[in-house]
Amino acid sequence: MNTIYCRRRGLMAGVAAIFVGAAVPARATDTNAVIEPIRRLIDGLLEIMKAGPATPFRQRFSMLAPVIDQTFNLGAVLKESVGASWAALPPQQQAMLTDAFRRYTVVSYVNSFNHFNGQRFEIAPTTRAVGAEQVVQTRIIPKSGTTHELDYVMRDSGSSWRVVDVLADGSISRVAVQRSDFRRLLTRGGPQALADSLRNKSIDLSDGAA
């Protein structure tokens, strides 16, 4: 997946996808289940931030990867980013892209959440419904400077709620940005070109460590 900008690179740029729907709070019995994965994600991000650059990148990758796997529905994110052509890909190409996309996603978060300088994370106590999905609103508040909003679009996977999109500053959809980039690469060079691009970005973001 290009989150907010705790370090030199943002994970998202340019394209806004506005989710239109009524702002309806989730039922009280559901809210904790929707928000809990984001609490775990924030705990994981704080852990790698506090570990910082003094801890090898690969070690921080290993710390965060299980949290990303448990919090995100990476399969759904990848399918929506690739679009209708996903279903036509042979299983080995789907597996290749899934592996490259997972690594890129984890690397991107480790790269972006690289330092702890007293930042605070806040989670809104209620969620808002957008169709069958729920949006969890969070803010990252630095000791000084601009506060950033990061919203997580959650979908019920049956056993738990998991992230299927991230909205920077409330509107910039990560999936929308990826969809544009991924489809351009697929049109030009097919699945191999997309996998190579994701791998090269992972190498760049990790300074060759991943």
Cα of 142 vs its chain's centroid, Å: 20
* Res 29: pLDDT: 39
Domain borders along the chain are 28-205
pLDDT at 145: 84
pLDDT along the chain (210 residues), means of 10: 41 31 44 96 98 97 98 97 95 98 98 95 95 95 91 94 94 93 95 98 93
Q: Beta-carbon neighbour count of residue 78 at 10 Å?
A: 21
Give Rg (Cα) of the chain.
Answer: 17
CATH of domain 28-205: 3.10.450.710
Contact indicator for 139, 42 with CB cutoff of 8 Å: no
Q: What is the reported pLDDT for 147?
A: 93
Q: Do 14 and 178 form a contact (C-beta atoms < 8 A)?
A: no
> What letters, b where the CB count within 10 A reaches 16 and e where it falls short, cover 97-132?
beebbbbbbbbbbbbbbbeeeebebeebebbbbbee
pTM: 0.84
Q: Which two tokens stand for residue 162?
A: 């998991």
Q: Which amino acid is residue 187, in one-letter code?
A: T
List for the chain the helix, strand, coil content (%; round to 5).
50, 20, 30
CA dihedral 132, 36, 113, 63 (to 10 degrees): -120
Calculate the alpha carbon distances from 185 to 86, 137, 205 in Å: 14, 32, 19
pLDDT score at 209? 87
pLDDT at 16: 30
